[in-house]
Amino acid sequence: MTPQRGNVRCATALRAVVLRGGRRTFIVAALLLVSQPKTSAQQFQYERPVSAAPTAEDVGEGYETPVVQYHPPRSMTRELIDVGVLTGALALTAWLVLGQRHRFGTLLVTIACVTYFGFYRQGCVCPIGAIQNVTLGLVDSSYALSYVAIAIFFLPLVFAVFFGRVFCGGVCPLGAIQELVALWPLQVPRRWEWWLGWLKWIYLATAIVFVVLPAAQRDFIICRFDPFVGFFRFTGPLDIMLIGAGLLLLGVLVGRPYCRYFCPYGALLSLPARIAWKAVRITPDKELDCGLCAEACPYGAIEGLRAMRATCLSCARCYKYCPREHGTATL
Positions that interact with other proteins (CB under 8 A): 1-2, 5, 42-44, 46, 48-50, 52-54, 58-61, 63, 65-66, 68-74, 76, 79, 122, 124-126, 129-130, 132-134, 137-138, 141, 143-148, 150, 154, 157-158, 161-162, 219-220, 223-224, 233, 235-237, 271-272, 275, 277
Q: Give the nearer residue to other proteins in terms of CB position, either 84 or 323.
A: 84
Exposed e or buried b for every residue in 17-47, given b needs 16+ CB within 10 A? beeeeeeeeeeebeebeeeeeeebeebeeee
Q: Give the nearer residue to other proteins in terms of CB position, either 19 or 68.
A: 68
CB 270, CB 311: distance < 8 Å: yes
Query: Residue 108 Cβ, how far from other proteins at the closest point, in Å?
Result: 27
Q: Give the nearer residue to other proteins in terms of CB position, either 134 or 208.
A: 134
Q: Alpha-carbon distance 190 to 117, whole Å?
A: 33
Q: Give the nearer residue to other proteins in terms of CB position, either 75 or 330.
A: 75
Q: Which residues contact 251 (CB under 8 A, 6 or more apart)?
A: 178, 181, 182, 257, 258
Query: Residue 26 Cβ, how far from other proteins at the closest point, in Å?
Result: 25
Q: Give the nearer residue to other proteins in terms of CB position, either 159 or 319.
A: 159
Q: Which residues contact 97 (CB under 8 A, 6 or more apart)?
A: 106, 163, 166, 169, 170, 280, 314, 315, 316
Query: Residue 160 Cβ, how far from other proteins at the closest point, in Å?
Result: 9
Query: Residue 245 Cβ, how far from other proteins at the closest point, in Å?
Result: 17
Q: Which residues contact 109 (CB under 8 A, 6 or more apart)?
A: 89, 92, 93, 96, 170, 171
Query: Residue 287 Cβ, how far from other proteins at the closest point, in Å?
Result: 18
Q: Give the nearer residue to other proteins in terms of CB position, either 187 or 283.
A: 283
In terms of C-beta density within 10 A (0-12 exposed, 13-18 middle, 19 or more buried), how is residue 149 classed? buried
Query: Residue 124 Cβ, how far from other proteins at the closest point, in Å?
Result: 5
